[in-house]
């Protein structure tokens, strides 16, 4: 017979305790007493004081959105970008087609051909942003870290089908030449606060 | 003399109508701002500097919005109901002395800032404000909408419950003064803060404030238009300027209640030390209006059964006991 005593003990911590809630009164004397107590205890004025204190403190939490924006995580999956190779400036996509294969909403279309040197080059690349669910699989599967998710979440279109093609996605040449193409900070990369999360590995188990 | 009186009255009426219609709009701006600050928000910010012109934007929206009358509504009553709300609110103001009498600059013409100085002033004001409750009642019943009907039913509950407390709470100070005229009540409290009726009648003051909140449908008692329960209650089917009339009526009533409370209990327009009388009453009214907004930010609203419980079992006995004690002390 297994002893369940230790499993039935739900007091997992000494911090847990039962609230000392008094039972609602049954007699009219008790009800009357409770009404008088609640009326004269001044709880209503506590409420008034709290909102007045917040007004005086003027600690406003509003973000005026189009003018101010909250910082978002580098791992946020917004509009896709295709990176350029830092050495040559060519787009990093090798046309392997993995992103098209893995895309669960079938919104990536990639078309390739043999180039002049016998290597595969990308002829056409398009993402139907109306269908895309921004799951991030394409970025995760890309062997060259070519297609990534950027931080730009403000995009609208007049139609449901809204295509982004290769020229839209690749880092523009002027930005690349100015050295402003940011290294990929998304999946698998270190978060900005990674140093704080480092814990000492225990040496002995 | 007679024509001068008529012209003066018309000018006063026009001034009251314009000033309080404008104040209704401006109060919505302050209400939104104060509520926002108390909830750590900014409130309207985009129209004009710090959102001041939001009032104009709201006004343009209200005036140009399509006026929809539901198909199965009782159309004449549906159309006339908002007029009751605004009209009764403004008619009630005709008995309220807003400022002390003053002479027009550069003349010796004495202006009494009260449209009709009737000797039953406060009875008239309270009565007409009570008639204003017919607006939500008729509007809600004529709308052919169940939310509106519920709002109308709750209006009746509130009207029956709180008019009693309003009347009874005002009787005690009236017994002390011995006159129904608001100017007599004001003159009774001459001679500084110590002579205010509120020190002699604190219970009546609190009772009047509570029932005033109920009468103007303000937050602890806004159950006839509470969004979470009955959409907008009686005003569900109203749009455009018809709804706007309801809003103007509500805010005008707020000002009337604030003026009555400061006239009857807080010394009215008697000068307070170095503060002249006109400024004193405006300060008191501003504080009472701020209290309306403050309470709205702080307190939750109550259920209809709690409202009736509060009114019939707590406030009305308190008011009656207050009257009894006042009478015994006076004798």
B217 or A111, greater pLDDT:
A111
Mark B121-152 as b/e (b = at least 16 C-beta within 10 Å): bbbbbbbbbbebbebbbbbbbbbebebbbbbb
- The torsion angles phi and psi of B90, rounded to 5 degrees, stand at -80, -35
Q: How confident is the model at residue B320 (pLDDT cuts 50, 70, 90)?
A: very high
By C-alpha distance, the chain B residue nearest A48 is B298
* Average pLDDT of the segment spanning B197-208: 88
What per-residue confidence (pLDDT) applies to A167?
Answer: 85
What per-residue confidence (pLDDT) applies to A205?
Answer: 64
- Of A47, A51, A60, nearest to B42 by CB-CB distance is A60
- Of B41, B42, B294, nearest to A52 by CB-CB distance is B294
**Rg value, chain A, Cα:** 30
Which of 14-53 (A) contact B at CB < 8 A? Answer: 35, 44, 47-48, 50-52
CA distance B171 to B320: 9
What per-residue confidence (pLDDT) applies to B1?
Answer: 59
Using the beta-carbon criterion (under 8 Å), do A35 and B314 form an inter-chain contact? yes
- The torsion angles phi and psi of A96, rounded to 5 degrees, stand at -75, -25
The pLDDT of residue A190 is above 70:
no
Q: Shortest Cα distance from B234 to chain A (angstroms)?
A: 29
A108-114/A120-128 β-pairing: antiparallel
Tokens 């606060």 correspond to what residue? A193
Least confident of A1-15, A36-50, B162-176, B289-303: A1-15
- Of A47, A60, A61, nearest to B298 by CB-CB distance is A47
| Sequence ranges of chain A with CATH classification 3.30.70.3270 | 80-177
* Average pLDDT of the segment spanning B195-209: 87
CA distance B14 to A31: 53
Cα of A90 vs its chain's centroid, Å: 30
CA distance B21 to B12: 14
CA distance B218 to B296: 7
A-interface mutation test, from B34, B43, B210, B297, most A Cβ less than 10 A away: B297
CA distance A50 to B72: 47
Using the beta-carbon criterion (under 8 Å), do B37 and A47 form an inter-chain contact? no
Tokens 């003051």 correspond to what residue? B205
Level-2 CATH architecture, domain A80-177: 2-Layer Sandwich (3.30)
CA distance A142 to A60: 43
How many Cα neighbours within 13 Å face the side chain of A154?
A: 4
The pLDDT of residue A102 is above 90:
yes
Q: What is the pLDDT of residues B128-156, one digit of tens each?
A: 888 888 888 888 888 888 888 888 888 88
CA distances to A154, B24, B164, B264 from B161, rounded to whole Å, are 54, 27, 6, 22
B-interface mutation test, from A51, A60, A66, most B Cβ less than 10 A away: A51
The pLDDT of residue A185 is above 70:
no
Chain B residues lying within 8 Å of A45, measured CB to CB: none
Task: List, as own/partner pairs, every contact residues B51-57 make where C-beta atoms lie below 8 angstroms and the sequence separation is at least 24, other chains included.
Answer: B54/B29, B55/B25, B55/B26, B55/B28, B55/B29
Using the beta-carbon criterion (under 8 Å), do A62 and B294 form an inter-chain contact? no
> B166, B215 in Cβ contact below 8 A?
yes
> A87, A173 in Cβ contact below 8 A?
no
- The torsion angles phi and psi of A93, rounded to 5 degrees, stand at -70, 130
Which tokens go with B73?
Answer: 């509504």
What per-residue confidence (pLDDT) applies to B198?
Answer: 83
Across all residues in chain B, what is the average pLDDT? Answer: 86
Q: How confident is the model at residue A103 (pLDDT cuts 50, 70, 90)?
A: very high
CA distance B139 to B146: 12
pLDDT > 90 fraction of chain B, expressed in percent and rounded: 6
The pLDDT of residue A100 is above 60:
yes
Q: What is the pLDDT of residues B244-297, one digit of tens each?
A: 888 888 888 889 999 989 888 888 787 777 878 788 888 889 999 999 899 988
Using the beta-carbon criterion (under 8 Å), do B37 and A54 form an inter-chain contact? yes
Q: Shortest Cα distance from A71 to chain B (angstroms)?
A: 19
- The torsion angles phi and psi of A111, rounded to 5 degrees, stand at -130, 130
Q: How confident is the model at residue A188 (pLDDT cuts 50, 70, 90)?
A: low
Q: What is the pLDDT of residues B71-108, one digit of tens each?
A: 888 889 988 889 988 899 888 888 888 887 777 777 77
Q: Could you tell me the maximum CA-CA distance found in chain A, to the nearest angstrom?
A: 98
Q: What is the DSSP letter of A189?
A: S
DSSP symbols for A114-161: E-TTS-EEEEEEEEETTT-----HHHHH-TTS-EEE-S------SSS-
What per-residue confidence (pLDDT) applies to B300?
Answer: 84
What per-residue confidence (pLDDT) applies to B324?
Answer: 92
- Name the nearest CA neighbour of B43 among A202, A33, A62: A62
Chain B residues lying within 8 Å of A58, measured CB to CB: 37
Q: What is the dihedral of CA B162, B165, B168, B169, to 10 degrees?
A: -120
Which residues neighbour B2 within 8 Å (Cβ) at sequence distance 6 or greater? Answer: none
Angle at B284 between CA B282 and CA B285, to 5 degrees: 65
| Secondary structure (H, E, C), chain B | CHHHHHHHHHHHHHHHHHHHHHHHHHHHHHHHHHHHHHCCCCCCCCCCHHHCCHHHHHHHHHHHCCCCCCCCCCHHHHHHHHHHHHHHHHHHHCCCCCCCCEECCCCCCEECCCCCCCCCHHHHHHHHHHHCCHHHHHHHHHCCCHHHHHHHHHHHHHHHHHHHHHHHHHHHHHHHHCCCCHHHHHHHCCCCHHHCHHHHCHHHHHHHHHHHHHHCCCHHHCCCCCHHHHCCHHHCCCCHHHHHHHHHHHHHHHHHHHHHHHHHCCCCCCCECCECHHHHHHHHHHHHHHHHHHHHHHCCCCCHHHHHHHHHHHHHHHHHHHHHHHHHHHC
Q: Name the residue ranges covered by the structural domains of chain B.
A: 70-330
Chain A residues lying within 8 Å of B41, measured CB to CB: 60-62
A80-82/A147-149 β-pairing: antiparallel
- Name the nearest CA neighbour of B326 among B201, B231, B159: B201
Tokens 């404030």 correspond to what residue? B209
- Number of neighbours of residue A140 by Cβ within 10 angstroms: 17
Q: Shortest Cα distance from B34 to chain A (angstroms)?
A: 8
The pLDDT of residue B321 is above 90:
yes
Which tokens go with B95?
Answer: 């008995």
Which tokens go with B217?
Answer: 């449908």
Q: How confident is the model at residue B199 (pLDDT cuts 50, 70, 90)?
A: confident
């Amino acid at each position: 017979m297994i002893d369940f005593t230790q499993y039935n003990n739900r007091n997992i911590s000494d911090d847990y305790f039962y609230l000392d809630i008094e039972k609602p009164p049954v007699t009219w004397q008790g009800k009357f007493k409770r009404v008088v107590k609640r009326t004269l205890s001044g709880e209503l004025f506590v409420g008034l004081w709290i909102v007045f204190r917040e007004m005086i403190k003027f600690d406003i939490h509003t973000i005026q959105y189009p003018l101010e924006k909250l910082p978002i995580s580098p791992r946020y999956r917004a509009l896709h970008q295709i990176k350029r190779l830092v050495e040559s400036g060519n787009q990093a996509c090798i046309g392997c087609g993995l992103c098209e294969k893995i895309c669960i909403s079938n919104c990536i279309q990639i078309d390739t051909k043999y180039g002049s040197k016998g290597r595969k080059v990308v002829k056409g690349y398009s993402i139907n942003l109306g269908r895309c669910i921004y799951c991030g699989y394409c970025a995760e599967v890309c062997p060259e870290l070519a297609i990534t998710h950027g931080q730009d979440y403000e995009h609208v279109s007049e139609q449901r089908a809204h295509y982004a093609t290769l020229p839209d996605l690749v880092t523009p040449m002027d930005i690349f030449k100015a050295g402003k193409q940011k290294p990929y900070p998304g999946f698998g990369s270190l978060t900005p606060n990674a140093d704080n999360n480092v814990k000492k590995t225990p040496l002995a188990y | 003399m007679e024509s001068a009186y008529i012209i003066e009255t018309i000018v006063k009426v026009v001034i009251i109508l314009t000033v309080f219609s404008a104040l209704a709009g401006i109060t919505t701006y302050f209400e939104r701002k104060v509520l926002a600050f108390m909830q750590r928000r900014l409130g309207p910010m985009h129209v004009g500097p710090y959102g001041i012109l939001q009032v104009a934007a709201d006004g343009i929206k209200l005036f140009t919005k399509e006026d929809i009358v539901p198909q199965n509504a009782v159309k004449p009553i549906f159309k006339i109901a908002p007029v009751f709300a605004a009209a009764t609110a403004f008619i009630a103001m005709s008995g309220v002395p807003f400022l002390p009498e003053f002479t027009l600059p550069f003349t010796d013409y004495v202006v009494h800032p009260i449209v009709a100085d009737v000797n039953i002033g406060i009875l008239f004001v309270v009565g007409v404000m009570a008639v204003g409750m017919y607006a939500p009642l008729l509007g809600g019943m004529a709308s052919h909408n169940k939310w509106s009907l519920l709002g109308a039913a709750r209006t009746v509950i509130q009207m029956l419950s709180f008019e009693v407390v309003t009347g009874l709470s005002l009787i005690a100070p009236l017994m002390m003064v011995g006159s129904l005229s608001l100017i007599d009540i004001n003159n009774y409290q001459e001679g500084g803060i110590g002579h205010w009726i509120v020190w002699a009648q604190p219970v009546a003051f609190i009772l009047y404030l509570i029932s005033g909140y109920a009468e103007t449908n303000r937050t602890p008692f806004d159950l006839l238009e509470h969004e979470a329960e009955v959409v907008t209650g009686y005003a569900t089917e109203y749009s455009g300027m018809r709804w706007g009339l309801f809003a103007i009526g509500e805010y005008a009533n707020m000002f009337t209640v604030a003026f009555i409370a400061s006239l009857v209990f807080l010394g009215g327009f008697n000068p307070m030390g170095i503060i002249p009388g006109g400024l004193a009453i405006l300060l008191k009214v501003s504080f009472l209006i701020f209290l309306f907004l403050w309470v709205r930010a702080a307190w939750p609203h109550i259920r209809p059964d709690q409202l009736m419980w509060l009114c019939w079992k707590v406030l009305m006995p308190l008011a009656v006991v207050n009257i009894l004690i006042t009478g015994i002390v006076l004798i």
